Amino acid sequence: MSVTAPKGFVASGVHCGIRKKARRDLAIVRSLERATGAGMFTINRVQAAPVVVCKEHLAAAQPQAVVVNSGNANAATGANGIAHARATAATAAQMLGVSADEILVLSTGVIGEPLPIGNVLNGVTAAALQLSRSGGGAAAEAIMTTDTYAKEAVAHGSGFTVGGMAKGSGMIHPRMATMLAVVTTDYPLEPGEAFDFLAPAVDASFNAISVDGECSTNDTVVLLANGASGIERTPESDLQFAACVRKVCGELAKQIVADGEGVTVVAEISVRGAATEPQARAIAERVATSPLVKTALHGHDANWGRIAAAAGSAKFDGGFADLDPDLLSIVIDRVPVFVDGAPTGDEPELANGSCAIDIDLALGDGAATYLTTDLSYDYVKINAEYRT
């Protein structure tokens, strides 16, 4: 009951026929109280129709509900795609008794195929009639594509709750990671405030993960806040709320990485001692997205040479991030393999499905972490057959 755990939220998930198999493929999440909210979106220049329409609606009004479909991305679909996204919002608005620009529309699935709008509008009608406090699980299931399980998270503060659901398995890479997420809360926020809480949480979670280095056309994270908890807001409660949003986003991000397409190993890349924090992040991202590092992880090979090479080629500010090979140290699963620019001769086993890679540049105070995965034979098979 993740997105409906906060007071004043209902949700549903239905099968409307977008997907070939009889599985849920359309969800609605709605606030029963007047809400405020914000969204963050992919920076890909090819932006899906729902992303375009969401931005328009957020500029005009406060969001009261979110409609999400899986099985079709409604991306690279031209003017018809925009019209279909708007029609989806209009139908939802009519069913829910709000204005069309108070509806956000999210889509995920195959790029370049026309959205079967008749099925979608019928699904919106059916989903609107099935909204309930117990519908969070069905909604989380309905937004899955190649996911193997629904992704949900909840965090409780002093008198308030933050809930969330997400989908994501492939095309996972900032900014942002193909992923969608809806976060709800009964914490009181004024219009225009939600973004300030959402942005740092996204930066530390969804913008710090990678499965395959591919940036999606549809990535969206939405936060809805309705104040239904009725608590008195204080500076201390704001700090607690920020921590809860970050916790929910972080848990959802971890679930996305763990459920990555074909994933057998999850690795955390930790960089410290960088000249600056942005440079640490650039190095962590470069190591996390290196195909050679990722294939070594799949083979349970602690190939620290590939890690060092990736770290030394991290692009930053028109050049490369600062790195002195004579100061560089690498530790894999607590085993030092490269210390102060020299190999130790030690070799970790990498026998399980997780791996910790710690990189120390000994240049400053910059630090960053990144979650990544191995790159497996199954990943290639899944994506080679994605449209069939």
* Boundary residue ending a domain (226, 255, 284): 255
| Shared domain check, 278 and 243 | no
* Residue 8 pLDDT: 98
For residue 43, CA distances in Å to 4, 245, 268, 276, 371 come to 29, 22, 24, 24, 20
Angle, to 10 degrees, between the axis of helix 291-298 and the axis of helix 277-289? Answer: 60
Mapped onto helix, strand or coil, the DSSP state of residue 292 is helix
* Residue 101 pLDDT: 98
| Shared domain check, 239 and 220 | yes
Residue 77 CA to its chain's centroid (Å)? 23
| Shared domain check, 302 and 214 | no
| Shared domain check, 179 and 101 | yes
User: How many Å apart are CA 358 and CA 349, to the nearest integer?
Assistant: 16
Segment 183-187 shows an average pLDDT of 98
pLDDT band at 176 (very low <50, low <70, confident <90, very high): very low
Residue 255 CA to its chain's centroid (Å)? 10
User: How many Å apart are CA 133 and CA 137, to the nearest integer?
Assistant: 10
Strand ranges (E), 226-347: 266-274, 315-316, 319-320, 329-332, 335-339, 342-343
* Residue 9 pLDDT: 98
Containing 252, the helix (H) or strand (E) segment is: helix 235-258
Mapped onto helix, strand or coil, the DSSP state of residue 194 is helix
46 found inside a domain: yes
Mean pLDDT computed over every residue of the chain: 92
Residue 257 CA to its chain's centroid (Å)? 9
| Shared domain check, 231 and 159 | yes
| Shared domain check, 166 and 203 | yes
More confident residue, 32 or 386: 32
236 found inside a domain: yes
More confident residue, 91 or 388: 91
| Shared domain check, 194 and 46 | yes
**Res 192 pLDDT > 80:** yes
| Shared domain check, 202 and 133 | yes
pTM score of the predicted model: 0.85
Mapped onto helix, strand or coil, the DSSP state of residue 161 is strand
Share of the chain above pLDDT 70, in %: 95
pLDDT band at 177 (very low <50, low <70, confident <90, very high): very low
| Shared domain check, 325 and 244 | no
Least confident of 99-113, 257-271, 281-295: 257-271
**Model confidence pLDDT, tens digit, residues 212-246:** 566 678 889 999 999 999 999 999 999 999 999 99
* Boundary residue ending a domain (227, 255, 283): 255
| Shared domain check, 215 and 305 | no
Catalytic positions? 178
Least confident of 191-200, 237-246, 259-268, 273-282: 259-268
| Shared domain check, 314 and 232 | no
Tokens of 230: 């009725």
Structural domain including 327 reads: 266-384
260 found inside a domain: no
* Boundary residue ending a domain (255, 290, 312): 255
4 found inside a domain: no
3 found inside a domain: no
User: How many Å apart are CA 267 and CA 374, to the nearest integer?
Assistant: 8
96 found inside a domain: yes
Tokens of 72: 């079709």
**Model confidence pLDDT, tens digit, residues 84-138:** 999 999 999 999 999 999 999 999 988 889 999 999 999 999 999 999 999 999 9
CATH number at residue 287: 3.10.20.340
In sequence order, which residues have a C-beta less than 8 Å from that of residue 291 and are 6 or more positions away?
Answer: 213, 375
CATH number at residue 141: 3.60.70.12
Number of domains in the chain: 2
| Shared domain check, 241 and 334 | no
Share of the chain above pLDDT 90, in %: 78
